[in-house]
Amino acid sequence: MMLSVENLNVFYGHIHAIKDVSLHVKEGEIVSLIGANGAGKTTTLQTISGLLKPKSGTITFEGKDITKTEAHQILQMGIAQVPEGRRIFANMTVKENLEMGAFTRKESAAQLKEERKNFYDKFPRLRERKKQMAGTLSGGEQQMLAMGRALMANPKILILDEPSMGLSPLLVKEVFEMIKTINQSGVTVLLVEQNAKMALSISNRAYVLETGKITMEGDAKELLHNESIKKAYLGA
Ligand SMILES: Nc1ncnc2c1ncn2[C@@H]1O[C@H](COP(=O)(O)OP(=O)(O)OP(=O)(O)O)[C@@H](O)[C@H]1O
Ligand SMILES: [Mg+2]
């Protein structure tokens, strides 16, 4: 197992936001976590990334207990997160944003340049805009850049928090295509989405989170055809 979360409990003061959550991600998978507003999706992701500390439970990554590990070390171990709302550096260029993503790397400047080139080869739309200020990119391009910046940390697993939020249907499609491409290049993906239909359609497995608890889990294609999922999350 690449990533295992066992019986996680997270509090904000007295608010018990995450209740005994267990989930796992195998190497190479796309796993999605779906749920309504306030279900605890972001809280779960931030706890995995080390930005929040749980009251109890364990998080294991490649056999190592990372429950108490600092966020920057977790990033260095290979877990990179694209936060909700993207948060790119608006006053920096596309290229500078990608450079920032590589700040924990110890490889040579030439090696990192080569990786940026590979990234631009895969996502040429950003190459055309490499000197453009990131804040002037469209919402979809900003999401692509945010993913690119996270990839520059050379992660083993990429964690995405609502990558399709606020995007037009066409851009949503592009962003999901990009996630598939990233996964096919060997990066495991843990995806949080309110767009359950798109998320399930590209995932291997999925978990449903409701008010802090996992209420359902299984094969993504099966969940896509599950009646209660359809009613609650697929607008059917
Ligand atoms: N900093 C905070 N202080 C207090 N409560 C918080 C804080 N952040 C989140 N919460 C609460 O924890 C619960 C889970 O929030 P979280 O942001 O994880 O939900 P979410 O599933 O990501 O929702 P959304 O789909 O709206 O992004 C909510 O009830 C929220 O109000
Ligand atoms: Mg959230």
The CA 202 to ligand 2 mean position distance, Å, reads: 20
The pLDDT of residue 54 is 98
- Residue 191 Cα to ligand 2 midpoint, Å, equals 11
Q: Which CATH number fits domain 3-233: 3.40.50.1820, 1.10.3720.10, 3.40.50.920, 3.40.50.300?
A: 3.40.50.300
The predicted pLDDT at position 191 comes to 98
Task: Report whether residue 37 contacts ligand 1, using a CB cutoff of 6 Å.
Answer: yes
Nearest CA owner, ligand 1 atom 14: 40
The more confident residue out of 223 and 85 is 223
- Strand ranges (E), the chain: 3-12, 15-25, 30-34, 56-61, 64-65, 79-82, 157-161, 188-193, 205-210, 213-219
- Expressed in angstroms and rounded, the spacing between residue 176 Cα and the centre of ligand 1 is 24
Residue ranges per structural domain of the chain? 3-233
Query: pLDDT, tens digit, for every residue of 133-181?
Result: 999 999 889 999 999 999 999 999 999 999 999 898 888 999 999 999 9
pTM: 0.95
* pLDDT tens-place string over residues 186-227: 999 999 998 899 999 999 999 999 999 999 999 999 999 999
Please state, in angstroms and rounded to a whole number, the distance separating the CA atoms of residues 41 and 56. 17
Place of tokens 């995450």: 18
